[in-house]
Structure 1
Amino acid sequence: MASPYQVPPTRDSWFAPLSIDLIVKVFKTTFFHPFVSWIIPLCFRAQNMKYQDTPVLVSIGWATFITLIWVAGVINNRLAFGLPREVDLSEEVIVITGGASGLGLLIAEVYGMRGATVAVLDVEEMENGEARGVTYYKCDVTDKAQLESVAKKIEQELGPPTILINNAAVVPGKPLLDLTLPEIDRSISTNLLSHFYTLKTFLPYLTASEAGGTIVTVSSVIGTLGAANLTDYAASKAGVTALHKSLAAELKESHPEIRMVLVTPGQLSTPLFYGVQTPNAFLAPVVEPVDVAKEVIKAIDEGQNAAIAMPLYARWVDWYNILPIGFQALLRKAAGVDKGMKRFVGRNGVKKGGAEKAGIVGF
């Protein structure tokens, strides 16, 4: 008897070993790093070259330029994000939606092992059963009554929440003509409305804390680009990004002690996107959850406001929309972004068209 589930296409790995991101990373830690740049003129001087010699002058000029760029970046971040808040993990209570798998589970496990108190909200059981320092609460984040009940339990059992990571998401992965109205409602409720519900539920705890708090919003680059077979997902992620930016503007005035972290990754190598074909492994590599988790954890630990976009193209994707429409069409065709969902399978080998089995999961 044939299996009712689609078998995902075979490929070498989720992450191509060579990509533009890897090349840029190498250059940022070598020729584009201030410390390394100043090593070069020192090496020339060690060879008894004079300051007026051309190689020494050129290397000093390059090192000065790179240093100025680095200083400008520090000033830019300070102007954009302000001063950090003090974070004491022993005092933090972290709530992660969709934390039973993928990116959410990875962050939960890291913080649990480091001594923080973590509450995971998900309709699915945790993939690893139990994790040290992590308490699981079965909760549908689209259900306002369940959220209110779980929030009270968390306050009583763990303490008032101080960090909220909105990570829950679903991906039906079907053309709009094939989506049923209940599927659309479920997708928009999970990917967008649940953010309003969790914020309304947990934000009062964060604003009541004298030490402040942190809100992490996991959006997607698809919210800016859009893609075939992702109409519901793209629309909801565009809304999530707008929600985050608007809330950040509000809280900057009313509660400046709250830190906001916006995460807009490209394709992640998590079960949620199982079977999705990478448009271009060199220019748009699949992102490993551990890399995103590192950046999210760093921002939370340092008490920073932050905007995290990975891979490299995700940091520049906003420029796409100012390009001529014809050029945009050529780029989409060359990248193959609208063909990536043709072999989409989803979490746990979910039957194509069986969105009701996808549930609410994390990235």
Structure 2
Amino acid sequence: MISQPSCASPTMDGPKLKEVSVKLPKNFDRPDEPWTHYFTIDLLWTTLGYTLFHPFITWVICLCLRAQYTPYGAPEMRIAVAWAMAMSMIGIFNIFSERIAFGRPREVDLAEEVIVITGGVDGLGGLLAETYGMRNANVAVLDTKKVSDDEAEEKGVLYYECDVSDPKQVEAAVAEIVEDLGPPTILINNAGIVQAKPILDSTAEEVEQTFRTNTFSHFTTLRTFLPHMIQERRGTIVTVASVLGHVGAANLASYAASKAALIALHQSLRSELAQNPDADEIKTILVTPGQMGTEMFAGLKTPSNFLAPVVTPAEIAKDILRLIEKGESGEVAVPLYSKYIQILNVLPVGVQALVRRWSGLDTAVARSGMMKGAPKNK
């Protein structure tokens, strides 16, 4: 921690500049990784999406061939034109598909929005809160962890000490937020905990605690915040679930089950909002990330860094921010496998068993040492 000294001289008149605490990145704490560590299927897929799979680029290739006087009947020209037409049709289909599914985007002006983030002191929620705080947005965080007034002022965020699993605390916090900032219009349901234990070793109290924090809290916040959005006739609701909600995992039964419930809750919420004429401008975003590089899953390793890289909160936050600020509904699923993991459930059961065995999905928690210690928060 270093302090930036004031540039004003003690003998000069006028107020001194505010001293700002700066925490420099600790690059030296990170081990040096070979370049192959950063070469993943996600990077490859993104690169292809901006090149060979991009309609504009594919038509540019056709123009380049014509610039070389390639005849229209030449095999390479026919292949290039056919590929460009296929990419264009897929792109147009995706545009219409998203419009049918999610409707038209709403206008978003951060100065007019009130953003509420549960579990927003650290991790993914903390990053989102600090990002919006730096942009002078109206941000309120609900979390059980305390934050000093000086830190809150420095980040530009209002923190409310609140256990989101307690409906009374949430209702009291919402009343304060409405008085301090105004009616909430963006809700990011991010709070969550994980208890890594076999089913037979889990107590009823531990399972209930996981569901109260990970699942029941979403019902509470929706019942409390959604009426304000309907009254304002605009809003965005972000549901942070997990890829484990699609596949489950040994020793994470309560966590996976609570996240699976969120995926179903999100679909039900979308259906109910579609039937409410006053909710036409209320957008929904489902987040199903793979393994994040946070304290929550510290020590857990994926079987293949190429196929299943560990994602940073910044990568997920970037996509969430993009959808929120474009006023769109949608889904955030990173890395790439989390977007298509549902295909696993329609494969023959023997293939599913082989994939789970090869991936180490059901042995990763036991190897990581996560089952030692207290529950971890996001």
Structure 2 letter corresponding to 1:151: V
Task: Provide the aligned C-alpha RMSD in A.
Answer: 2.0
Deviation at 1:182, TM superposition (A): 1.8
| Distance in 2, Cα, partners of 1:97 & 1:217 | 11
For 2:346, the equivalent position in structure 1 comes to 322
2:327 is the alignment partner of 1:307: no
**Residue matched to 1:352:** 372
Code of the aligned partner of 2:94? G
Alignment of 1:186 with 2:209, yes or no, is yes
TM-score, normalised relative to structure 1 = 0.90
* Aligned residue number for residue 128 of structure 2: 107
- Residue in structure 2 matching 1:86, options 107, 111, 133: 107
- Secondary structure of the structure 1 residue equivalent to 2:117: strand
What are the superposed Cα offsets for residues 123-163 of structure 1, whole Å, 9 maximum, x if unpaired?
Answer: 12359933533111111101111111111110101111001
The alpha carbon displacement at 1:343 in A equals 4.2
Q: Secondary structure at the match of 1:118?
A: strand
Aligned equivalents of 2:96, 2:41: Cα separation in 1: 27
Alignment of structure 1 residues 1-363 onto 2, 5 Å: 16-125=37-146, 129-130=151-152, 131-210=154-233, 212-254=234-276, 255-344=279-368, 352-355=372-375, 358=376, 361-362=377-378
Paired with 1:195 and 1:77, the residues of 2 have a C-alpha distance of: 25
Unaligned runs of 5+ in 2: 1-29
Which amino acid in 2 is paired with 1:22?
A: L
Deviation of 1:344 after TM superposition, in Å, equals 4.1
What letter corresponds to residue 32 of structure 1 in structure 2? Answer: F
Deviations 1:197-233 (A, max 9, x none): 11111111111103x1010000011011000110000
CA–CA distance in structure 2, aligned partners of residues 297 and 203 of structure 1:
20
- Could you list the per-position Cα deviations for residues 256-297 of structure 1 after superposition, in whole angstroms to 9, with x for gaps in the alignment? 221111111111111111111213222221112111111111
Structure 1 residues 11 and 186: CA distance shift in structure 2, 3 A = farther
Mapped to 1, the partners of 2:316 and 2:147 lie a distance apart of: 20
- Post-superposition CA distance 1:174-215 (Å, at most 9, x none): 1122222221111111011111111111111111103x1010
CA contact (8 A) 1:172 1:353 kept: no
Residue 195 of structure 1 aligns with an amino acid whose one-letter code is H
Count of paired positions: 343
Is the contact between residue 90 and residue 117 of structure 1 (CA under 8 Å) also seen in structure 2?
Answer: yes
CA distance in 1, matches of 2:61, 2:172: 61
Measure the CA separation in 2 of the matches of 1:161 and 1:203: 9
How far apart, CA to CA, are the structure 1 residues paired with 2:75 and 2:250? 55
Aligned residue identity for 2:81: I
Tell whether the 8 Å contact from 1:101 to 1:126 is kept in structure 2 after alignment: no
Instruction: Please list every run of 5 or more consecutive structure 1 residues that lacks an aligned counterpart in the other structure.
Output: 1-9
Deviation track 1:278-323 (CA, whole Å, cap 9, x = no partner) reads: 1322222111211111111111111111112111111111221111
**Letter of the aligned partner of 1:62 in structure 2?**
W
Q: CA deviation at 1:12?
A: 6.8
Greater alpha carbon shift after TM alignment, 314-323 vs 76-85: 314-323
Larger radius of gyration: 2
1:72-112 CA-partner distances (Å, limit 9, x unpaired):
11111111111111111100000000111111111111112
SS of 1:310 mapped into structure 2: coil
- Rounded to whole Å, the distance in 1 between the matches of 2:37 and 2:256 is 25
SS in 1 for 2:187: strand
Equivalent residue letter for 2:248 = G
- Aligned-pair CA distance for 1:115: 2.6
Closer, same or farther: CA 344–96 of 1 in aligned 2, 3 Å: farther
Q: Provide the TM-score with structure 2 as the length reference.
A: 0.86
- State the identity %: 48
